[in-house]
Amino acid sequence: MGLDKKISVAVIKRLPRYYRYLSDLLKLGITRISSKELSIRMGITASQIRQDLNCFGGFGQQGYGYNVEHLYNEIGNILGVNNKFSFIIIGAGNMGQALANYANFEKRGFIFTGIFDVNPDLIGKKINNREVMDMSNLDEFVKNNKIDIAMLCVPYDQTPIVADKVARLGIKGLWNFSPMDLKLPYDVVIENVHLSDSLMVLGYKLTQKLKNSQ
């Protein structure tokens, strides 16, 4: 219980990427791969791959490499794709609708369970086979259904209010799309998607590029 050696967030963040590459290899019908070969495909060092994987266990075999399907399944287990985490979306605007329709999440074990809004024009609208519910029904819905994750796609000023509400209802995972760092006094896991931050990094790199080509 919590005594495992601490695994750095840098390693964790690479896991989904390994998972994607292994999925591609599977689709290509490739059954085994060495850290060397994978390192070339991914553009990282073989050493890093072996170090990363050995944080979780010895999945390979000397002289052979890694069995693609086995490694794929193991990383899936580490990431919890079999946990079937259920999620609701708060805010049924374009972003909320986009997430509701994103089939990839289902494939990775995240189950779309409900979507909420305050806008009467949206309430009742069917999105990916589910009707948008009124926010006033959120409490009851969460009490009657096991909900693991809430995706927050509400306007900026509503975000802290909704985040607080959702955390009080006992939801343990928050996926935040507002350009704001959520801090909650609850035992909640928060993952931020700061789109404008990412775009500004692109802007910075473009600016550098322009400078250097002059």
Residues within the annotated binding site for NAD(+)? 91-96
The nearer residue to a copy of itself, 78 or 184, going by C-beta atoms, is 78
What is the rounded distance in angstroms from the CA atom of residue 213 to the CA atom of residue 119?
Answer: 49
Classify burial at 67, counting beta carbons within 10 Å of its beta carbon; exposed 0-12, middle 13-18, buried 19 or more.
middle
Check residue 175 for interaction with a copy of itself (CB under 8 A): yes
Select from 8, 40, 140, 203 the one that contacts a copy of itself (CB under 8 A).
Answer: 203
- Least distance from C-beta 148 to DNA, angstroms? 27
Report the candidate in 123, 119, 134, 128 with the shortest Cα–Cα distance to residue 98: 128
Q: Which does 44 bind (CB under 5 to 8 A by kind): DNA, a copy of itself, none?
A: DNA
Check residue 73 for interaction with DNA (CB under 7 A): no
State both tokens at 89.
């979306």
State both tokens at 27.
């689709």
What is the rounded distance in angstroms from the CA atom of residue 16 to the CA atom of residue 63?
Answer: 26
Are the CB atoms for 60 and 38 separated by under 8 Å? no
Beta-ladder partners of 124:
none
Maximum alpha-carbon separation in the chain? 63
In sign, the C-alpha dihedral spanning 185, 190, 91, 157 is positive
Q: Which does 121 bind (CB under 5 to 8 A by kind): a copy of itself, DNA, none?
A: none
State both tokens at 143.
């009490």
Check residue 64 for interaction with DNA (CB under 7 A): yes
Check residue 184 for interaction with a copy of itself (CB under 8 A): no
Binding mask 3-32 for a copy of itself (x = CB under 8 A): ---------xx-xxx-xx------------
- Least distance from C-beta 180 to a copy of itself, angstroms? 8
- Interface contacts to a copy of itself, rule CB under 8 A: 1-2, 12-13, 15-17, 19-20, 78-81, 83, 85, 93-95, 97-99, 101-102, 104-105, 108-110, 148-149, 172-173, 175, 179-181, 187, 189, 191, 193-207, 209-212, 214
